[in-house]
């Protein structure tokens, strides 16, 4: 799977830009502030439907204009070409299109372009909030497990209904309707068990990949990852929901379940978040993403697109060379940014690559 054309209009500081990436390695270089990360951000919109740089999504729209667009020509692994578009309206939000057909459903577009990204903030996957680790697992399951997105949607809706009853009791003194509460609790237990089983199975499968890859980078460390369900160990979800009812009523929300799940990373038996250096954390994140891509390819027979922002700032030369070697082995299309091309002298060994220079709000192939 690869993008053969990327076009931007009124995006950040760019008026009109178009470039044709190669199927393998694409190096995007330029001075600080030239717009390298904006190019990655535009590609990211096609794969995630949102910016990776800010929560203020209107900021992608060029100053004094109202609409920004990103268009991509995608060729899948069967050779079928599709046209994917993303438009950001300042007043109406995002709108997407597939082969000219408009849709507001983000999942329709995201499913077309499996994508991963590595940025200076990627260490947050290990040291940040649990929601980031849940998203890491759910990304893979969304793309490879049929019906998983519907399952998560059903769980989220059920959780919302149960929480509404709890909030009304706490804030308004509305007595709990026992029949309703039991119905939503039973439904939550059913959906929650399925989500947790899927996450746990996936992590057990990917763990061997992570261990083997980590040994190549830091052989003296033994890495392990385990899934925490989000409720008391040794009890069922249903029993835990029942046991925590009094606390849920006190707090006004459901305090246990997959929405509280987490991944625990240990190195030589110790917490990775607390014991690894920043550089070691970056390596661990890169390994997790490579393992993710390998697992995704084996489960789906599809390739991914991988974005790397400012790789030289995150990985030393030896590590970034090995890192890119492993990624390119998976037949992944890679977009990577750097300030100087000298940071990529080792890429001379790659025959299939393109180099783009970003300057004066233009993108030129070298």
pLDDT > 80? residue 72? yes
Residue 289: name the closest of 261, 318, 315 by CA: 315
Q: Does residue 1 belong to any structural domain of this protein?
A: yes
Q: Does residue 11 belong to any structural domain of this protein?
A: yes
The residue assigned the tokens 């995201």 is 110
Question: What's phi and psi for 348, nearest 5 deg?
Answer: -60, -20
pLDDT > 90? residue 305? yes
pLDDT at 341: 77
Count: domains in the chain: 1
Residue 293: name the closest of 282, 302, 280 by CA: 302
9: left (phi over 0), alpha (psi -120 to 50) or beta: beta
Tokens at 284, concatenated: 């661990």
* Mean pLDDT confidence for 172-189: 94
Q: Give the CATH number, domain containing residue 59.
A: 3.40.50.300
Query: Quick one: what percent of the chain has pLDDT higher than 90?
Result: 60
- pLDDT range class, residue 132, cuts 50, 70, 90: very high
Q: Does residue 10 belong to any structural domain of this protein?
A: yes
Beta strand pairing call for 270-271 and 305-308: unpaired
The predicted-structure confidence for 23-69, as pLDDT tens digits, reads as follows 999 999 999 888 999 999 999 999 998 899 888 889 999 988 999 99
pLDDT at 108: 79
Q: Does residue 243 belong to any structural domain of this protein?
A: no
- pLDDT range class, residue 312, cuts 50, 70, 90: confident
- pLDDT range class, residue 11, cuts 50, 70, 90: very high
Q: Which residue has the higher pLDDT, 344 or 178?
A: 178
Q: Which of 108-122, 150-164, 255-269 has the lowest mean pLDDT?
A: 108-122
Q: Which residue has the higher pLDDT, 340 or 182?
A: 182
Query: Quick one: what percent of the chain has pLDDT higher than 70?
Result: 100
pLDDT at 314: 66
pLDDT > 70? residue 215? yes
d(C-alpha 72, C-alpha 180), whole Å = 47
CA–CA distances in Å: residue 241 to residues 217, 245, 252, 282? 42, 6, 14, 37
CA–CA distances in Å: residue 318 to residues 125, 218, 314, 338? 23, 12, 12, 16
What single string gives the DSSP state of each residue in 7-70?
EEEEETTEEEEEE---SSEEEEE-STTSSHHHHHHHHHHHHHSS-SS-S-GGGGBPTT-SEEEE
Q: Does residue 145 belong to any structural domain of this protein?
A: no
pLDDT > 80? residue 83? yes
The residue assigned the tokens 């209904």 is 161
pLDDT > 80? residue 104? no
Q: Does residue 287 belong to any structural domain of this protein?
A: no
Q: Does residue 216 belong to any structural domain of this protein?
A: no
Q: Does residue 61 belong to any structural domain of this protein?
A: yes
What pTM, to 2 d.p., does this model score? 0.89
pLDDT at 38: 93
- Tell me which residue range forms the domain holding 87: 1-114+303-366
């Amino acid at each position: 799977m690869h993008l053969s054309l990327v076009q931007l209009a009124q995006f950040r500081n760019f008026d009109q830009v178009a470039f044709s990436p190669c199927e393998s390695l694409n190096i995007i270089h330029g001075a600080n502030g030239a717009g390298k990360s904006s190019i990655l951000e535009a590609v990211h919109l096609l794969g995630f439907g949102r910016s990776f740089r800010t929560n203020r999504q209107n900021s992608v729209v060029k100053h004094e204009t109202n609409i920004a667009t990103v268009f991509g020509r995608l060729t899948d692994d069967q050779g079928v070409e599709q046209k994917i578009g993303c438009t950001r309206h300042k007043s109406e939000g995002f709108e997407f299109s597939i082969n000219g057909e408009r849709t507001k459903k983000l999942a329709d577009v995201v499913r077309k372009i499996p994508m991963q990204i590595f940025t200076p903030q990627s260490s947050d996957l290990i040291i940040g909030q649990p929601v980031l680790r849940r998203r890491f697992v759910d990304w893979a399951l969304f793309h490879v497990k049929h019906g998983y997105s519907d399952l998560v949607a059903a769980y989220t809706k059920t959780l919302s209904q149960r929480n509404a009853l709890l909030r009304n009791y706490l804030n308004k003194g509305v007595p709990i309707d026992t029949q309703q509460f039991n119905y939503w609790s039973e439904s939550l237990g059913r959906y929650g068990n399925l989500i947790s089983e899927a996450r746990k199975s996936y992590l057990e499968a990917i763990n061997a990949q992570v261990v083997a890859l980590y040994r190549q980078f830091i052989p003296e460390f033994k890495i392990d990852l385990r899934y925490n369900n989000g409720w008391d160990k040794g009890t069922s979800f249903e029993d835990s929901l029942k046991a925590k009812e009094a606390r849920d009523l006190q707090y006004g929300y459901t305090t246990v379940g997959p929405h509280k799940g987490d991944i625990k990373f240990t190195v030589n038996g110790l917490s990775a978040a607390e014991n690894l250096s920043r550089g070691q954390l970056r390596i661990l994140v890169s390994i997790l993403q490579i393992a993710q891509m390998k697992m995704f390819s084996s489960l789906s027979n599809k390739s991914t697109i991988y974005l790397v922002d400012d790789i030289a700032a995150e990985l030393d030369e030896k590590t970034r060379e090995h890192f890119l070697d492993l990624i390119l082995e998976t037949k992944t299309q890679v977009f990577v940014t750097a300030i100087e091309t000298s940071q990529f002298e080792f890429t001379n060994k790659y025959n299939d690559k393109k180099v783009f220079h970003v300057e004066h709000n233009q993108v030129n192939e070298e």
